[in-house]
């Protein structure tokens, strides 16, 4: 084996990447190439000429003078044989840099000198500095920081972590970070989290956790993976903040935006979101939901009549009663002025919805005391059921609404299920309504037909009943039974009725003028028309405009309005009588026992309903009733008109019951004015 020679050591000294110098007292006696380059000198000779004090700045980082400190370091080396320390050097150009120095005492020519070896530690210092900074940031940040290995087991946490979770460092280290799971998320949630951690190296999201004291809290968490140089994962680092307050603030804002300030119930937009959510969950679990659409029957009257503050209190009480009538897990919302909705999730059967609806109707039907007075709100409820009546929020709401209207029209204070048939009728009504508005702009769409009224004793025509017809290019002739009630609901009865009245008056006046006769005219008034505020003025204007005498015009009023709206109808009837008009009770006997009302109602004519005329004439009892009615009418001084006579037999039967007028296909169908014309004869 080749032994190391003196020359070999020289090479070692010369080629070392660490700077080396030999210091004899206060003088350099040798140095290597690294020392020359690192200190930035031209060559060895120059460096040798420099005094040691020239190679350092005046002060070291600890604030002490370099020469003093250098002496101490040397002394330490002489004492111990060697000494290691950090130092600041200065290059020839004046630049200062940190080094780590090792002083070794070596024998040299019978004396002891120092071997000085050092290396530039700028890089290491920088890293250390950065680490110190990170440490400082991590220790002081308000966000919780948690570092785990790949197990994952916690290997470090910061003070904020302990502050937020309540767990101190010692009790957390070594544990799986899942130890504080809230139980809020299913295993699929965590599986997704780990999947994205492995795939993307990070995950970010909101997650619920449990504090040491058991309280659940939401945190915004971000997890990153730390890799080694080869790209192999080393650690996970999680940084999170407690977002309890942010969540609470968000919830408060939401509550404000999505609840009705008066009743504190969810408003329409929140209700829609919740219904959407319930539909999704019902789909998943294959369960049923019912939607109740509740409309207060008499709210408007209370609100208009007693002021908004009473109205508001009534709504608050209604809201409370509805809330109390359903389960806590059912959703109750206020979706309009006096409209409430309820979602009944997990419906065992539609029957259960009926029970709740009936309970709601009953609690809202109980009187409420406001301002020392008793009020009765009353409610009508429409029910739609998912999935039978629709699978979207809009359909379910629309159908519940339709059902509610149906409930209302069956007399208020009840509930009604939606049905496909209801839907069809409603759709037809909706398209009829649109068309009706369009038709009103066209003069030709609404026309009047006339049916003669015949005097039973002479057979002569004494007048005509005006009957409205709607001729539509697509629907054909829509029967008045269908469009009048629709127009009554949507308010178009006003303009339509006015048009019929004016046309018919003008027509009959013309016939009177041509024949020199004195035909009377019967025009039908719906309940709504009768009660409309402008009726008297309209009639006065039409009479004046057409020149028809008031006592020639008879208004047909249905029997039902005399019963349901008795007071206001009587009032209005009096005003009409004051104008000099005649009034007739239409469809008399069709269903309401209104004999009693007749006494209070200022009518002139009784139009006996067709059902009496067509009944089984063999029955002595029926003919006895009709005879009694006619006799009573006679005693009250009323004219009787038999309606809908189609056969000679019916005619004979009516004659037998008593004198009067008659209408019916037997005499003449309702005809257009142009077809009536040729049949008219001059009065004799
Ligand atoms: P209404 O006042 O009882 O009119 C009599 C109805 O009986 C008419 O039906 C007429 O065509 C029909 N009729 C007449 N003779 C016979 C007959 O011998 N046999 C049968 N089966 N029916 C006969 P229309 O024209 O369909 O009118 C139905 C209802 O619509 C009317 O009943 C009336 O209440 C209402 N109406 C018609 N025109 C108007 C109007 O301009 N305004 C208002 N508000 N209602 C109207
Ligand atoms: Mg009539």
Q: Is the CB–ligand 1 distance for residue 525 below 6 Å?
A: yes
Nearest CA to ligand 1 atom 25: 467
Q: Are residues 469 and 601 in the same domain?
A: yes
Q: Is the CB–ligand 1 distance for residue 477 below 6 Å?
A: no
Cα–ligand 1 centroid distance for 467 (angstroms): 6
pLDDT (mean) for 68-79: 95
pLDDT given for residue 301 in this prediction: 85
- DSSP string of 279-316? HHHHHHHT-EEEEEEEEESSHHHHHHHH-HHHHHHHHH
Cα–ligand 2 centroid distance for 581 (angstroms): 16
Any domain includes 468: yes
Q: Are residues 271 and 243 in the same domain?
A: no
Sign, CA dihedral 625-628-633-639, equals positive
Query: Could you tell me the CA-to-CA distances from 567 to 410, 505, 571, 574 in Å, in that order?
Result: 21, 29, 6, 11
Any domain includes 128: no
Q: What is the CA radius of gyration of the chain?
A: 51
Q: Is the CB–ligand 1 distance for residue 598 below 6 Å?
A: no
Look at residues 388, 418, 448 and tell me which one is the last residue of a structural domain. Answer: 418
Q: Is the CB–ligand 1 distance for residue 586 below 6 Å?
A: yes
pLDDT (mean) for 112-131: 92
Which of ligand 1's atoms lies nearest the C-alpha of 587? Answer: 3
Which of 467, 525, 586 to mutate for ligand 1's pocket (most ligand atoms within 8 Å of CB)?
Answer: 467
Any domain includes 252: no
Which of 463, 524, 555 to mutate for ligand 1's pocket (most ligand atoms within 8 Å of CB)?
Answer: 524
Q: Please say if the pLDDT value at position 503 is more than 60.
A: yes
pLDDT given for residue 683 in this prediction: 61
Any domain includes 463: yes
Q: Are residues 563 and 593 in the same domain?
A: yes
Look at residues 384, 418, 452 and tell me which one is the last residue of a structural domain. Answer: 418
Q: Please state which of the ranges 188-192, 422-426, 438-442, 530-534 shows the lowest mean pLDDT.
A: 422-426
Which of ligand 1's atoms lies nearest the C-alpha of 607? Answer: 3
Q: Are residues 156 and 70 in the same domain?
A: no
Q: Is the CB–ligand 1 distance for residue 177 below 6 Å?
A: no
pLDDT band at 317 (very low <50, low <70, confident <90, very high): very high
Task: Write the CATH number for 619.
Answer: 3.20.20.450
Task: Write the CATH number for 92.
Answer: 3.30.450.20
Any domain includes 427: no
pLDDT given for residue 224 in this prediction: 93
Q: Is the CB–ligand 1 distance for residue 555 below 6 Å?
A: no
Q: Are residues 242 and 332 in the same domain?
A: no
pLDDT given for residue 118 in this prediction: 95
Q: Are residues 311 and 385 in the same domain?
A: yes
Percentage of residues in the chain having pLDDT higher than 90: 55
Residue 259 DSSP symbol: B
Nearest CA to ligand 1 atom 23: 644
Domains in the chain: how many in total?
4
Cβ partners under 8 Å of residue 559, min gap 6: 585, 586, 587, 588, 589, 590, 591, 592, 594
Cβ partners under 8 Å of residue 529, min gap 6: 488, 493, 494, 497, 535
Q: Are residues 240 and 116 in the same domain?
A: no
Residue 590 has, within 13 A of its CA and on its CB side, a CA count of 18
Task: Write the CATH number for 285.
Answer: 3.30.70.270
Any domain includes 503: yes
Distance of alpha carbon 524 from alpha carbon 487, whole angstroms = 14
* Nearest ligand to residue 525 Cα: 1
* Nearest ligand to residue 662 Cα: 1
Q: Are residues 569 and 649 in the same domain?
A: yes
Cα–ligand 1 centroid distance for 483 (angstroms): 12
Q: Are residues 81 and 109 in the same domain?
A: yes
Asked if residues 91 and 120 have their Cβ atoms less than 8 Å apart, the reply is no
Q: Are residues 207 and 346 in the same domain?
A: no
Cα–ligand 2 centroid distance for 408 (angstroms): 26
pLDDT given for residue 373 in this prediction: 85
Look at residues 223, 247, 271 and tell me which one is the last residue of a structural domain. Answer: 247
Nearest CA to ligand 1 atom 8: 467
Any domain includes 430: no
pLDDT given for residue 622 in this prediction: 66
pLDDT given for residue 97 in this prediction: 95
Give the residue numbers spanning the domain of 217. 141-247
* Nearest ligand to residue 483 Cα: 1
Q: Are residues 234 and 98 in the same domain?
A: no
Any domain includes 444: yes
Q: Please say if the pLDDT value at position 375 is more than 80.
A: yes
Q: Are residues 98 and 222 in the same domain?
A: no
pLDDT given for residue 103 in this prediction: 96
pLDDT (mean) for 520-528: 93
Cα–ligand 1 centroid distance for 466 (angstroms): 9
């Amino acid at each position: 084996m080749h032994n190391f020679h003196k020359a070999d050591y020289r090479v070692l000294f010369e080629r070392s990447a660490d700077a080396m110098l030999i210091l004899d007292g206060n003088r350099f006696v040798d140095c290597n190439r690294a020392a020359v380059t690192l200190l930035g000198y031209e060559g060895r000779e120059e460096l040798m000429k420099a005094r040691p004090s020239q190679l350092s700045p005046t002060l070291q980082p600890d604030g002490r003078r370099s020469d003093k400190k250098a002496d101490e370091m040397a002394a330490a080396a002489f004492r111990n044989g060697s000494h290691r320390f950090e130092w600041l050097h200065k290059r020839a150009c004046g630049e200062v840099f940190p080094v780590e120095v090792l002083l070794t005492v070596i024998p040299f020519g019978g004396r002891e000198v120092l071997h000085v070896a050092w290396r530039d530690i700028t890089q290491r210092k920088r890293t250390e500095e950065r680490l110190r900074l990170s440490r400082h940031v991590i220790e002081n940040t308000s966000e919780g920081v948690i570092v785990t290995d790949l197990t994952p087991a916690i290997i470090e946490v910061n003070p904020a972590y302990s502050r937020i979770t309540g767990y101190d460092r010692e009790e957390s280290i070594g544990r799986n970070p899942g130890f504080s799971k809230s139980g809020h998320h299913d295993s699929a949630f965590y599986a997704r989290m780990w999947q994205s951690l492995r795939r993307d190296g990070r995950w970010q999201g909101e997650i619920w956790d449990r504090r040491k004291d058991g309280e659940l809290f939401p945190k915004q968490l971000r997890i990153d993976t730390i890799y080694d140089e080869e790209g192999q994962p080393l650690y996970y680092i999680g940084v999170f903040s407690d977002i309890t307050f942010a969540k609470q603030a968000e919830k408060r804002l939401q509550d404000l935006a999505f609840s009705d300030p008066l009743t504190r119930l969810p408003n329409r937009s929140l209700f829609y979101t919740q219904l959407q959510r319930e539909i999704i969950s019902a789909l998943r679990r294959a369960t049923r939901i019912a939607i109740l659409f509740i409309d207060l029957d008499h709210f408007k009257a209370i609100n208009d009549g007693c002021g908004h503050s009473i109205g508001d209190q009534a709504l608050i009480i209604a809201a409370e009663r509805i809330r109390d009538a359903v389960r806590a897990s059912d959703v109750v919302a206020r979706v309009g002025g006096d409209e409430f909705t309820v979602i009944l999730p997990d419906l065992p059967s539609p029957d259960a919805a009926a029970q709740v609806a009936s309970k709601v109707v009953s609690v809202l039907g109980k009187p409420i005391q406001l301002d020392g007075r008793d009020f009765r709100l009353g409610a009508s409820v429409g029910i739609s059921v998912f999935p039978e009546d629709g699978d979207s929020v809009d359909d379910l709401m629309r159908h519940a609404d339709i059902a509610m209207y149906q409930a209302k029209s069956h007399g208020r204070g009840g509930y009604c299920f939606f049905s496909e048939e209801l839907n069809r009728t409603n759709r037809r009504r909706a398209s009829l309504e649109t068309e009706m508005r369009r038709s009103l702009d066209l003069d030709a769409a609404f026309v009047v037909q006339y049916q003669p009224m015949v005097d039973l004793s002479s057979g002569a025509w004494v007048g005509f009943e005006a009957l409205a017809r709607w001729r539509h290019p697509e629907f054909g002739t829509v029967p008045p039974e269908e469009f009048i009630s629709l127009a009554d609901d949507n308010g178009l009865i006003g303009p339509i009725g006015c048009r019929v009245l004016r046309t018919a008056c003008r027509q009959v006046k013309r016939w009177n003028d041509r024949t020199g006769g004195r035909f009377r005219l019967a025009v039908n008034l719906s309940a709504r028309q009768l009660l409309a505020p402008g009726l008297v003025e309209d009639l006065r204007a039409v009479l004046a405009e057409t020149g028809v005498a008031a006592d020639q015009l008879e208004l047909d009023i249905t029997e039902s309005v005399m019963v349901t709206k008795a007071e206001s109808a009587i009032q209005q009837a009096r005003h009409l009588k004051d104008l000099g008009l005649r009034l007739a009770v239409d469809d008399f006997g069709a269903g309401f026992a209104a004999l009693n009302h007749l006494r209070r109602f200022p009518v002139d004519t009784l139009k006996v309903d067709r059902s009496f005329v067509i009944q089984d004439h063999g029955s002595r009892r029926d003919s006895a009733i009709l005879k009694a009615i006619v006799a009573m009418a006679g005693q009250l001084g009323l004219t009787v008109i038999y309606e809908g006579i189609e056969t000679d037999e019916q005619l004979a039967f009516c004659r037998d019951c008593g004198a009067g007028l008659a209408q019916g296909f037997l005499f003449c169908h309702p005809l257009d004015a142009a077809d009536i014309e040729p049949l008219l004869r001059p009065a004799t």
